Structures are given as C-alpha cells and as structure tokens.
Structure 1
Amino acid sequence: MTQSSTITIDLAKTVFQVAFFNKFGVLKSNEKMTEHKMLSFIVNHPEALICMEACSSAHYYGRKFEGQGHKVKLLPPHIVAKYRAGNKNDANDALAIYEALKRPNIYSVAVKSISQQDLASLLKLRKGYIKQRTQVSNRARGLGAEYGVKLPEGITSLKKRLPDILEDDGNQL
C-alpha cells in the first residue's frame, strides 16, 4: 500500500460519497459532497491515491485527478461489490472501494485518454446501432410473416428485396 493518504469516491451525478483514509489506513471521514466540494477536497490533499469504481464518469475524473498529480486507480464494480459490508449505499460503497484496494492481486482499470475514450465510445455506439438494426429487421420479418410474406434473412438481402416486397400488390401487406 502507498505511504500517502487514500481517497475513495463513490461516483454519482450530483452528490459524491468521499472517504478519506490517512497514510496509516485510518478512516478520517466518509461524507457526501457536491462536485465543487469534492474537487476542493481533492486539491487540499496533494499526492493522494484516489480510487473509484470504473463506471460512468470515472475516466473523466481520473484524467482530471492525474492532471493534478494524484495517482488514480479504477476498480471494476463487480470486484468492489464483493467487499461491501452491510446494505448497498453510498457510504458503504466508498468503504468497499478501499477494502478492495487493500487486497493483493486485485487488478485495476487504466484511466482512458480522451482518444481511447473516443474510440471506445464510437465502438459502443456502432455496436448499439447494429443491435437496433438487427431488432428492426427481425421485427419486419415477424410482421411480414403475420401476413404470409417471408422476408429474407441478412440485412443486405432484406434491404435489397424489401422495396419490391412492399410494392408487390399480390401480397397482403
């Protein structure tokens, strides 16, 4: 473990749970903070190790904190969940992040650069569009089957044949 203090953050949209541990691992505070208060708190603890779950906005804050000279670790949420004591709430989540961090052989996720995040976002969007396209083509095939019209499988065949099928006066569409 590090010789510096450790800050664990349970990220949220507006209110963040921030737990602060001194260099000996003693919990000094675990409180809810607005984004502004959290950022001020971080600035007042230079060279702290900051640990968060690798979830929405983690890479943004990770880059921000690294830019301020902090070491940042992002832990996968499924690993953090194993170390939660008690009910799932923000305070317990911030403590669970610290517990997971202390364990040997726990891997962390690297903070993505802007270009890495851009590429990951594009790939995620593309995957979503392909999934939606597949859902629409499956719905069209199902609807066609309700009227006795068999639409071809495969998006290329469907795109090619669909206009002729829709214009065909001989089917019940």
Structure 2
Amino acid sequence: MTVNTVGLDLAKDVFQVHGISANGRVIFNKTVKRAKLLQFFEALPPCVVGMEACGSAHHWGRELGKLGHDVRLMPAGYVKPYVKRGKTDAVDAEAICEAVRRPTMRFVELKTEDQQAILAIHRTRDLVVRQQTQIVNMIRSILREFGHILPTGVGAILTFAKRHLGGDHPDMPELANGILGTL
C-alpha cells in the first residue's frame, strides 16, 4: 500500500513518523534520526505531511516541500484533542496524522527564511527593550535605597549617571558608582 498521509512529531535528535494509506490503514509508525529524515522522505512518494507548528517546523516544512510533499503545519492546541491515550512521541505522531486529515482543520502558513529572519530581528529587539526596562527599573530601585528618587525612563538614569560619575561623592557609595558605570 502507498503512504497517503504522514504525521511527523518533531524533536531534537529523533523524530517519530506515522504513515497511513488513503483508507486509514497504518503503514508505519517508527522513529527516524535527524540525519536520516530527509533520506526517509525522499524514499516516500509525494504525500501530505502534517506537523505541529513548533520550533524547527518551518525549516523542516521547507525541506520536505522541496521533495514534493504537501506540508501542513497546525497549532499544537488544535492537535491535542486527537491524542487518544498517554503522551508519547508515537501517540503524538498518530494524533498529528489524524488531525491533518480533518476537513475543518486550520493550518499555519509556512514561513520563508526571509520572513523568519525579520521575525527574529523583531523578537530580539523586543527582548532588548524589555531587558533595558528591567535594568532601568532595578537601578531606580537601588538608587531609591540611597535617597535618590528618579523619574521613569532611560534618560533620567543617564542624566543622573553623567551628573554623578565625575568623582567620589559622599552620598554615592562605591557600589552605586559601579552600577551606574555600566550604562
């Protein structure tokens, strides 16, 4: 029998693949190592491959699409109702295979490398802004312990630092000078 649909449970090193025929008969449910995954799918005729939209799913989706497979990504929350018993990789791959065949299933669009690169830039910038806010709030909190009440924002911290880093100040302990010197 020919494989019609494959459920692929992604992992770091060992992937679980569950393949069924057009009438739903299980043809295989096995593990495949990362190094052999593309080779495994090269040997299959073009079919529908379902995956949860998680880390590395877009990469593998692009790679399997190059081999002629119809790759469909689904939100993990949409796959969960199809898990029939305890959570294992084999059960997850079977649930993915079941979910991808549902006519009402909603799919996530496969992202290009350029789209992922732009998203990575935005996520990185967001992280830097959040960390900057945390640091500024921490410095303001520490300075309050020494009687310096500063307004919110990076500008207030920088102004304070420039004004007080010119030498030893009796009201500014060495520790605070060191912290402000990192800005």
TM-score (norm 1): 0.89
Aligned to 2:50: 51
Kindly report structure 1 stretches of 4+ aligned residues shifted beyond 6 Å. Answer: none
8 Å contact kept, 1:8–1:94:
yes
Aligned residues: 171
**Superposition map of 1:15-34 within 5 A:** 15-34=14-33
**Superposition map of 1:116-131 within 5 A:** 116-131=115-130
8 Å contact kept, 1:18–1:33:
yes
Aligned to 2:78: 79
**Superposition map of 1:14-163 within 5 A:** 14-163=13-162
Q: Which runs of 5+ in 1 are unaligned?
A: none
Residue 117 of structure 1 aligns with an amino acid whose one-letter code is Q
Deviations 1:55-85 (A, max 9, x none): 1111111111111111110111121123222
Residue 31 of structure 2 aligns with an amino acid whose one-letter code is K
Q: Point out the structure with max Rg over C-alpha.
A: 2
Q: Which runs of 5+ in 2 are unaligned?
A: 174-183
8 Å contact kept, 1:7–1:21:
yes
TM-score (norm 2): 0.84
| Aligned-pair CA distance for 1:110 | 1.0
Aligned identity (percent) is: 35
Residue 110 of structure 2 aligns with an amino acid whose one-letter code is V
Cα RMSD, aligned residues only: 2.0
Structure 1 window deviating more from structure 2 (113-122 vs 87-96): it is 87-96
8 Å contact kept, 2:3–2:44:
no
| Aligned-pair CA distance for 1:151 | 2.7
Residue 155 of structure 1 aligns with an amino acid whose one-letter code is V
Aligned to 2:179: none
| Aligned mates of 1:87, 1:143 — CA distance in 2 | 49
